[in-house]
Amino acid sequence: MEEVAVSVNSHHISQTDTCDLCVVGAGIAGLNALFVASRYLGRNRKVLLIDRRPRVGGMWIDTYPYVRLHQPHPMFTAGNIGWTLNREPSYLASKDEVLDHFSHCLAEIKDRLTVDERYGWEFESAEPILGGVRVVCRAPDGSSRTIDAARLIKAYGLRVTPNEPLAFSSARVRSVSPDSCDVRTGEIAESTAPVYIVGGGKTAMDTAHTLVTTYPGRQVNLVAGSGTFFTDRDKFFPAGRRRWVGSTLLSEMAVDMCRRFDGANEQQMAAWYRATYGTSMTPQAGNFLLGVLSQAENTTIAGGVNEVMMEHLEDIVDRDGHTELLFRSGATAPVEDGSWIINCTGYLTGADQPYEPYTSSGGTVLSIQVRSATMHLTSFMGYFMTHLMFLDQLRELPLYELDMQEMLQRNKTVLPYAMFALAQYNLGLMADAMPSKVFRECGLDFDRWYPWPRRTVGAVRFMLNHRRERDHLRQVLDTVRVRCDVRCGPLSHGDATACAAAAG
Ligand SMILES: Cc1cc2nc3c(=O)[nH]c(=O)nc-3n(C[C@H](O)[C@H](O)[C@H](O)COP(=O)(O)OP(=O)(O)OC[C@H]3O[C@@H](n4cnc5c(N)ncnc54)[C@H](O)[C@@H]3O)c2cc1C
């Protein structure tokens, strides 16, 4: 594919770089964008990779040290790059192993593409110029730098940042964040004081699992809010002969889910999904954010945790010589002096990012983030949307975008079903516009867990049915837009013009 040469008018600008592609964000979304770019650009083309963090890896760099992948590791990758770990596919990679794989992916990509890495660089703004886009960044020494790029991909992804400890009135408890307190070592390891995990999601489960297996018998309590249910990992990634029979491919479930969802029946959807594919260790489970847990992990946690409180913690206060947990409901519970309070409340729910559309009016800017999501996962967006960009289809396809941030704030229960409907709808449009090689090279596809005859049947079924499902999916997404009052629909021209100018 021919690249448009960037016209640079830089007589009064110092230190202007030029490149064919500038990617902001060295997480899994950015790596997938680079992988795809390596399919279109030759080694003689220049690509700049910018990230404010100190290395490749995105949120995995500063997420809590005992985090593990939720999913079998082979499908957590860039494009179809294989892992060098040499472990069974069901193995849940640790943080260091994930970071090693990110480095490996970048090295593989650099075999095909010249990538100039700029870490500690902050993207600040971009504006359209003739033949491309002018990007302004802040370098680590504080100086402002300009990059003229033919294309810009802002792969901000989920913008997960480390959690801070929760602030409480009481000074008699020790409030920590898993991101700065490794529960396996240091003071918390030496202490025998009770632990209270605040939160019921994936981080809370990882923390509870680590604590109950590292310190059997220690008092570990869970303040689980409304409770969370998870996808049962064994259902979609079964072992042995169930890979061949008696299990459901994730793609089959997605089709089934989308047929059941009408945009307004999220309570029935949650009940159905939880009963059919879910697992949870709390008696109630109001939340579902696509986290994954196995029955075995669930049983271990449930067996090791002392008390599960279905409450929202508001504060911890000292009263009459005693210390109490104070809940939103007005209830209280005594807490021992010196107890550890671990903030495992959501990484994904507190963010407040500015809206920007997923592409600019000229199609020279692609933005992969939660305010204009086009698929369920940012890795998939990095992969498929970059293909669309290089195929000059970004502006052509009437993709729907969904504002996941608004959706989380307005109706969290709808989010997972709306995300699946969005992904199915947009994938259907993409399937008609992209060569089949794009799908064949997509190593992110969860169906790859299954032997090829089964996943081939899944792929053929999708190709045969996706056009028939389109009207229903559009109606579902339109219903979600109206009912939940969220941005959910095709881009308007005005939106796309705003994209190039949107700052980081
Ligand atoms: C605890 C936890 C566990 C998870 N486990 C899984 C899992 O098992 N499987 C799964 O699929 N997902 C998982 N996720 C979701 C996870 O967030 C994604 O999988 C993924 O790694 C996110 O990648 P990303 O590229 O979208 O975003 P990030 O990893 O956040 O990368 C975006 C990058 O962009 C950079 N950036 C943003 N803005 C700027 C700017 N203005 N200037 C410079 N740089 C900028 C950031 O520094 C960052 O490095 C998990 C999430 C959490 C919180």
The pLDDT of residue 498 is above 80: no
Q: How far is the CA of 157 from the centre of ligand 1 (A)?
A: 6
Q: How far is the CA of 58 from the centre of ligand 1 (A)?
A: 5
Q: How far is the CA of 206 from the centre of ligand 1 (A)?
A: 18
Q: How far is the CA of 466 from the centre of ligand 1 (A)?
A: 30
What percentage of the chain reaches a pLDDT higher than 70? 94
Give the Cα separation of 301 and 299 in Å (integer).
Answer: 5
Calculate mean pLDDT across residues 50-66: 96
Regarding the beta carbon of 156 and ligand 1, being less than 6 Å apart is answered yes
The pLDDT of residue 251 is above 90: yes
Q: What's the mean pLDDT when you consider all of the chain?
A: 92
| pLDDT at residue 286 in the model | 87
Q: What is the pLDDT of residues 324-360, one digit of tens each?
A: 999 999 999 999 999 999 999 977 666 688 999 999 9
Regarding the beta carbon of 340 and ligand 1, being less than 6 Å apart is answered no
- Phi and psi angles of residue 55, each rounded to the nearest 5 degrees, phi first: -160, 180
Atom of ligand 1 nearest to the CA of 30: 25
| pLDDT at residue 497 in the model | 54
Residue 494 pLDDT level (bands cut at 50, 70, 90): low
Regarding the beta carbon of 123 and ligand 1, being less than 6 Å apart is answered yes
Atom of ligand 1 nearest to the CA of 348: 53
Q: What is the DSSP string of 363-414?
A: S-EEEEEGGGB-SSSHHHHHHHHHHHHHTT-TTTS--EEE-HHHHHHH-TTT
Give the Cα separation of 194 and 335 in Å (integer).
Answer: 8
| pLDDT at residue 138 in the model | 97
Regarding the beta carbon of 27 and ligand 1, being less than 6 Å apart is answered yes
| pLDDT at residue 161 in the model | 83
The arrangement of secondary structure in 16-161+350-501, i.e. its CATH architecture, is: 3-Layer(bba) Sandwich (3.50)
Regarding the beta carbon of 126 and ligand 1, being less than 6 Å apart is answered no
What percentage of the chain reaches a pLDDT higher than 90? 87
The pLDDT of residue 12 is above 90: no
**Which residue minimizes the CA distance to atom 15 of ligand 1?**
158
Regarding the beta carbon of 69 and ligand 1, being less than 6 Å apart is answered yes
Per-residue tokens: 182: 């490794």
CA angle 383, 386, 390 (to 5 degrees): 140
Q: How far is the CA of 416 from the centre of ligand 1 (A)?
A: 18
| pLDDT at residue 349 in the model | 60
| pLDDT at residue 10 in the model | 39
Q: How distant is the alpha carbon of residue 474 from its chain centre?
A: 24
Q: How many of the other CB atoms lie within 10 Å of CB of 88?
A: 10
Mutational pocket test of ligand 1: of 59, 117, 197, the residue with most ligand atoms within 8 Å of the beta carbon: 59
| pLDDT at residue 159 in the model | 83
| pLDDT at residue 361 in the model | 86
Regarding the beta carbon of 47 and ligand 1, being less than 6 Å apart is answered no
Q: What is the pLDDT of residues 442-490, one digit of tens each?
A: 999 999 999 999 999 989 999 999 999 999 999 999 999 999 999 999 9
Q: How many of the other CB atoms lie within 10 Å of CB of 264?
A: 15
Residue 320 pLDDT level (bands cut at 50, 70, 90): confident
Atom of ligand 1 nearest to the CA of 347: 53
**Which residue minimizes the CA distance to atom 37 of ligand 1?**
156
Q: How far is the CA of 260 from the centre of ligand 1 (A)?
A: 30
To which residue do tokens 């110029």 refer?
129
Give the Cα separation of 457 and 434 in Å (integer).
Answer: 20
Regarding the beta carbon of 71 and ligand 1, being less than 6 Å apart is answered yes
Q: What is the DSSP string of 449-464?
A: GS-HHHHHHHHHHHHH
Q: What is the pLDDT of residues 187-239, one digit of tens each?
A: 999 999 999 999 999 999 999 999 999 999 999 999 999 999 999 999 999 99
Residue 17 pLDDT level (bands cut at 50, 70, 90): very high
Regarding the beta carbon of 105 and ligand 1, being less than 6 Å apart is answered no
| pLDDT at residue 14 in the model | 53
Regarding the beta carbon of 204 and ligand 1, being less than 6 Å apart is answered no
Per-residue tokens: 128: 């359209």
| pLDDT at residue 437 in the model | 95
The pLDDT of residue 13 is above 60: no
Domain layout of the chain by residue ranges:
16-161+350-501, 162-229+283-346
Q: How far is the CA of 27 from the centre of ligand 1 (A)?
A: 5
| pLDDT at residue 16 in the model | 87
Calculate mean pLDDT across residues 65-81: 96
Calculate mean pLDDT across residues 20-34: 98
| pLDDT at residue 5 in the model | 39
| pLDDT at residue 493 in the model | 57
Regarding the beta carbon of 292 and ligand 1, being less than 6 Å apart is answered no
| pLDDT at residue 160 in the model | 84
> Are 16-161+350-501 and 162-229+283-346 in the same CATH fold?
yes
Identify whether the C-beta of residue 487 lies closer than 8 Å to the C-beta of residue 481: yes
Regarding the beta carbon of 53 and ligand 1, being less than 6 Å apart is answered yes
Give the Cα separation of 26 and 119 in Å (integer).
Answer: 9
Q: Is 26 helix (H, G, I), strand (E, B) or coil?
A: coil
Regarding the beta carbon of 378 and ligand 1, being less than 6 Å apart is answered yes
Give the Cα separation of 50 and 120 in Å (integer).
Answer: 8
Regarding the beta carbon of 199 and ligand 1, being less than 6 Å apart is answered no
**Which residue minimizes the CA distance to atom 24 of ligand 1?**
157
Strand ranges (DSSP E) for 255-321?
278-279, 292-293, 307-309, 313-319
Residue 158 pLDDT level (bands cut at 50, 70, 90): confident
Identify whether the C-beta of residue 111 lies closer than 8 Å to the C-beta of residue 42: no
Q: What is the pLDDT of residues 374-411, one digit of tens each?
A: 999 999 999 999 999 999 999 999 999 999 999 999 99
Identify whether the C-beta of residue 219 lies closer than 8 Å to the C-beta of residue 194: yes
Identify whether the C-beta of residue 227 lies closer than 8 Å to the C-beta of residue 280: yes
CATH code of the region 162-229+283-346: 3.50.50.60
Identify whether the C-beta of residue 453 lies closer than 8 Å to the C-beta of residue 255: no
| pLDDT at residue 167 in the model | 97
Q: How distant is the alpha carbon of residue 93 from its chain centre?
A: 16
Calculate mean pLDDT across residues 242-253: 94
